[in-house]
Amino acid sequence: FAVNTKHKVVLTGSERMQQRPLKLLVEALQQLGAKIKYVGKEGYPPLEISPAEAIGSTVRIDATVSSQYISALMLVGAILKEGLIIQLKGEITSIPYILMTQDLLKSVGINTTFERNEILVEPAKILDRKTIIVESDWSSASYFYSAVALSENMEITLTSYKNESLQGDSEVAKLFEKLGVRTKYNEDLSITISKSDTKPVANLSLNLIKTQT
């Protein structure tokens, strides 16, 4: 709505959704020229969005907070006349999710580049039709890994998980190998996790921040 609406609209949601912070994204869209006002508490929905007079092609956003805002801007970029340059401020803390968004855009014919602290999304007039299988959330899978690790002889099969996933949390498979849990990748895009014969390590020291290479 913010970059192409022709009418004034109010964007709202459930009570829980109105507790979700949006200030960083709103400020980024306002940099581009979007006309957005807070209806209630500043920084949170509901939002009043009016037609913009002009939309720019460069935006700066804090990259230390959440990749969700960056992904949202990447998805918007391709419909802008000149595309979008996203300049990232600070240490980028959620690179795998930016790479997932980049991979999704590529799959429908949208060209992007991600180098150092800058993302370029090229404009696209025609998008390829594509059927995409949405991979399950590896963050959620971690709870089942924990259950198997704590069990005596448990086996669980979870559907729609890829080997060599772009999700950062897919590292749980390697992590739990050290805790006595085996992961089997099946041909139907499922995984089966079970107890292994490996003795769990007593201590783990981990750096859970994924940095860009």
pLDDT under 70 in the chain at which residues? 209-213
CA–chain centroid gap for 181, Å, is 27
pLDDT attached to residue 127: 75
What was the pLDDT predicted at 87? 95
Helix/strand number for the chain, H first, E second:
5, 10
Q: What pLDDT is stored for residue 133 in this prediction? A: 80
pLDDT of residue 54: 77
Instruction: Report the predicted TM-score, pTM, of the whole model to 2 decimal places.
Output: 0.76
Interatomic CA distance for residues 176 and 145, integer angstroms? 7
**154-200, pLDDT tens digit by residue?**
999 999 998 888 888 899 999 999 999 999 999 999 999 999 988 88
Residue the block writes with tokens 């007593």? 202
So what's the pLDDT on residue 59? 93
